[in-house]
Amino acid sequence: MEKLKISTETKTLISSKPIQLENWFKEPILSIFYIYLLSNLLFAFFEISRGTLLGQYYLHMELHCYLFQLIIRSSWLKRSLIIVSLLAIIEYFLKKRYKEETIFPLPRQWKKNLIINWFKWAVPFLFIIQTYFTLKLFGSVHNHHLPLWKWETPFWSLMQPVFSSLPAWVYRFLDFIYVPGWGAAHWLFLFGLISGNETFRKRLFGVYGLSLMVGGVLHYLFPAVSPIYVAKDYFNYLPDALISWKYHLHCLNQQTLFLTKGAEVFTFLKGKAITPIAAFPSFHVGYALQLFLLSRDFGKRWLIAISFFFLCFIIIGSLILGYHYLIDDVAGMIIVYLMYMLVKKA
């Protein structure tokens, strides 16, 4: 009994051991995050010193607008705070009523996890996101675009009878999955912050962040305009009242603004320039694949099935709705799969 008591006390002491901040920088994924951000910062200063247009993009987007908007005025942040507050209130009343911590289905130290992981994972992750959009925006607006529609003409000609003969509800369903459905899937990151499973969190933030690094560079070096902007007549089969059309119109208007006004557009867009036209590679498909891989490793069978069908619908929707080429989807999946295997081994 004495040995058992000592063992239990030792486990309690270990579990309550304070977080060692120096261990954060020993984490391989976080080390890559910070090395990438430092390299990008030096590159930004270099471009700014040369007075290039890309330098102006970095200056306006990273230092003046986007980070402030994303963290302080973001609707995602406001909704997250509301959800966290509701969870805390529910937890308080459940504990008061039942006098047990196990009655609440969240990790026991979820509030502590949220605070620690916000600084550990979310902060560098947000910087990677804004770097990604800076590279994507400049590349998609100012660099020469790949003629992917010309290269894939046989595929699109072959699929045209299939794509154009579907009932209207199919287009609306794919549109709902591809736009609001895909966006809603990002609430998983809030769960990742409060989760007590560090392995899950590494694969969630790590794979997404590393994929954005690779994807941002590819968007900058090899930009490609989405099919619907290259061959509008091909997609005449799509209904007018789709959410996609609002997104496409926003992209076209934003591209025109940046072509005519340059980096000063950031000032009156208030840092919300995050949806430029850039198809290659497809991160919509990449993130859907990441969800499937996470479900396979951490979820139950029903969750694996849902994530698999979600991946299929995102791939089909990306083509039928005119967002991406076939090579975009393939490249997006390859990048995410390689990053997932890399993080899994790390």
CA–CA gap between residue 55 and residue 223 (Å, rounded) = 18
Q: Strand, helix or coil at 226?
A: coil
Q: Looking at residue 183, what is its pLDDT?
A: 86
Segment 194-198 long-range contacts (CB within 8 Å, at least 24 positions apart): 194/84, 194/106, 194/107, 194/110, 194/111, 194/113, 194/114, 194/117, 195/107, 195/110, 195/113, 196/107, 196/108, 196/109, 196/110, 196/113, 197/298
As a whole number, mean pLDDT of residues 224-229 equals 88
- Residue range 96-139, pLDDT digits in tens: 666 655 555 677 788 888 888 888 888 888 888 888 888 888 88
Are 262 and 56 in contact by the 8 Å Cβ rule? The answer is yes
Amino acid sitting at position 151:
W
Q: Looking at residue 23, what is its pLDDT?
A: 61
Q: Looking at residue 231, what is its pLDDT?
A: 86
**pTM passes above 0.85:** no
Question: Running DSSP on this structure, what letter comes out for residue 35?
Answer: H
pLDDT tier at 11, thresholds 50, 70, 90: very low
